[in-house]
Amino acid sequence: MVARKKTDVVQLSKIRMKEALRARLARDAERNGTTLNGEIVDRLEQSYANETQAMRDSAIVDMLVRHNDVSSKLLRDIASEIAKHPDWDRDEAKRTELLRWLAYAIYGKEPPQEPRPGEEL
């Protein structure tokens, strides 16, 4: 058997998948202006890139909290919640929702209501 180089392009001929998945990939390939093969390869490569990034992120979080499991989980949860609401800084309702979630995550209860300007406590 001849050894392959990492840069060689190889053909896999016996890949099996459900038709629903193939149709979804084909639809996305058309939307992205690529071939079905290109879409599959791009998605596989992206999954490995995401996995590598997740391992880097995990190592950074662990260093930030000095491997404290509770702090690590909280920091990961906060990052996950912020990722769900990327425009939290431009949307008052999303900012309030994020702050409420943070209060629950940290204190286990809802934050106290702050008076609005001009209101008394």
pLDDT digits (tens, 9 = 90+) for 65-114: 888 888 888 888 888 888 888 888 888 888 888 888 888 888 877 666 66
Distance CA 27, CA 33 (A): 10
Task: Look up the pTM and report it.
Answer: 0.56
Please give the pLDDT value at position 121: 46
Whether residues 58 and 87 share a domain: the answer is: no
Contact 74, 84 (CB under 8 A): no
Cα 16 versus chain centre, distance: 27
Quote the domain boundaries for residue 97.
67-112
Distance CA 83, CA 103 (A): 17
- Helices vs strands, H then E, count in the chain: 4, 0
Instruction: Count Cβ atoms below 10 Å from residue 40 Cβ, excluding itself.
Output: 19
**Predicted confidence band of residue 44 (pLDDT cuts 50, 70, 90):** very high
107 in a structural domain: yes
Return the structure tokens found at 88: 């939290």
84 in a structural domain: yes
What average pLDDT does the structure give for the chain? 86
Return the structure tokens found at 47: 């999954």
- For the segment 47-53, the average pLDDT, to the nearest whole number, is 92
Whether residues 26 and 54 share a domain: the answer is: yes
Most confident of the ranges 5-9, 38-42, 60-64, 84-88: 38-42
52 in a structural domain: yes
